Copies of this chain bind each other. A is one copy, B any other.
Amino acid sequence: MLHAIIMAGGSGTRFWPKSRRHRPKQLLTLTGERSLIQQTFDRIGPLASADCVRIVTGADQVAAIAAQLPEIPSGNLIAEPAPRDTAACVALAAMCVAHDDPEGVMVVMPADHVIRPESAFVRTIEAALKVIDKEPEALVTFGIRPTRPETGYGYIEHAEELDRHGEVPVYRVAQFREKPNRETAEQFLATGRFSWNSGIFVWKASTILAELARHRPSLFEAMQPIRDALGTPRYDEVLKAVFPTLEKVPIDKAVMERSAHVRMLEVLFDWNDVGDWRALADLEPGEEKGNVVQGAVKIADCADSIIVNEDGKLIAALGLEGVVVVVSGGVTLVAKKDKLDSLKALVESLGTSGHGDVL
């Protein structure tokens, strides 16, 4: 049986002021009519019933997620008492799956990416399930063929092609690489052997737990009290006591970089991690001159700009080039596109400058 784990741990600065501390990116409807987490849930629908979808998130987001995804049983909303990075998150989810279904296979997906078309996603995951059928110990990761020397993503270098399921090639992995600098990213691109690390995984719950026990025994051991408490009345109490003490480490570093069983599939779908406001230009059909406009907006003589009106009567934009304007919740952001990397710092500074009410 396929179990889907949606990792919904994102925070709320990159899409501020539409995203806020208690309304992070995955809960936002940025494109289309469903929020990113709803789109993620919809995407896995052909492969996993709602009963088999679990969402791992912060305690303060459980209510909002339940409201957006009422189909999911409330017991499947796993609240992390504190964020402890992806190794602990994945292991907790794997323990829950293994407790219910010892032979269960799980697909792990971030809640806040856009993937199109859905059918290509389904065919890609089906290929991964065939890999698991043949090699039950496999840890399947998914590589995105890079289209630019992006410095904001991790990369996976593949070694030889081992197999092929339909159109999907299966590679052995040569190495994982963290976010490179520009020069290194250009070299990666030139070799043709590097893919972007999508953060999507398929494996048996028992496999990832065994590999964690082998490659990060300290973390695995530290989590045993939680596993032992699963299904008992002590569970909540134990989770709250133990989870916040766990090591913060990404699953890539804890396991994937060390395991001999990693397989990389090159995906069939288009992928966008929706990093910040600029992503709208890739996701929405831009009008003339590359402007993206949402809501009541009047533009004149603008180019390459993103104008989003959530709740104002009107935004009038005149003569802008490469500017992002967002009005949401009574707050206006106006930012030059090429300075958006500094938005996080600006938003974080609001708390200490008397504007904590708009975080």
Question: Does A33 belong to the interface (CB within 8 Å)?
Answer: no
Contact check, B332 vs A318: say whether CB atoms are below 8 A apart: no
A193 to chain B, nearest CB (A): 36
Contact check, B318 vs A350: say whether CB atoms are below 8 A apart: no
**CB-contacts of A304-359 with B (<8 A):** 309, 312-321, 323, 325, 327, 329-336, 338-340, 342-343, 345-347, 349-350, 353, 355, 357-358
How far, in whole Å, are A318 and B315 apart by their CA atoms in the complex?
18
Question: Does A229 belong to the interface (CB within 8 Å)?
Answer: no
Question: Does A301 belong to the interface (CB within 8 Å)?
Answer: yes
Question: Does A260 belong to the interface (CB within 8 Å)?
Answer: no
Q: When A323-B323, A350-B298 are in contact, do A316 and B342 touch as well, CB less than 8 Å?
A: no
Contact check, B319 vs A338: say whether CB atoms are below 8 A apart: yes
Residues of B within 8 A of A317 (CB): 333-335
Grouping DSSP codes into helix (H, G, I), strand (E, B) and loop, the A interface class, with mixed when no group exceeds half, is mixed
Interface size on A, residues (CB 8 A): 42
Question: Does A67 belong to the interface (CB within 8 Å)?
Answer: no
Question: Does A12 belong to the interface (CB within 8 Å)?
Answer: no
Contact of A355 among B298, B325, B331 (CB under 8 A): B298
Question: Does A162 belong to the interface (CB within 8 Å)?
Answer: no
Contact check, A346 vs B312: say whether CB atoms are below 8 A apart: no
Residues of B within 8 A of A316 (CB): 16-17, 331-335, 346-347, 350
**CB-contacts of A280-311 with B (<8 A):** 296, 298, 300-301, 309
**CB-contacts of A80-121 with B (<8 A):** none
Q: When A339-B318, A339-B319, A355-B298 are in contact, do A331 and B350 touch as well, CB less than 8 Å?
A: no
Contact check, A332 vs B332: say whether CB atoms are below 8 A apart: yes
Q: When A323-B323, A355-B296 are in contact, do A301 and B342 touch as well, CB less than 8 Å?
A: yes
Residues of B within 8 A of A327 (CB): 312, 327, 332
Q: List 30 A-B contacts (CB under 8 A).
A: A16-B316, A17-B314, A17-B316, A298-B346, A298-B355, A300-B342, A300-B345, A300-B349, A301-B339, A301-B342, A312-B327, A313-B329, A313-B330, A314-B330, A314-B331, A314-B350, A315-B331, A315-B332, A316-B332, A316-B333, A316-B334, A316-B350, A318-B333, A318-B342, A318-B343, A318-B346, A319-B338, A320-B334, A327-B327, A332-B332
Further contacts, 10 of them, CB under 8 A, given A314-B331, A318-B333: A312-B331, A314-B330, A314-B355, A314-B358, A316-B333, A317-B335, A318-B334, A318-B335, A318-B336, A319-B338
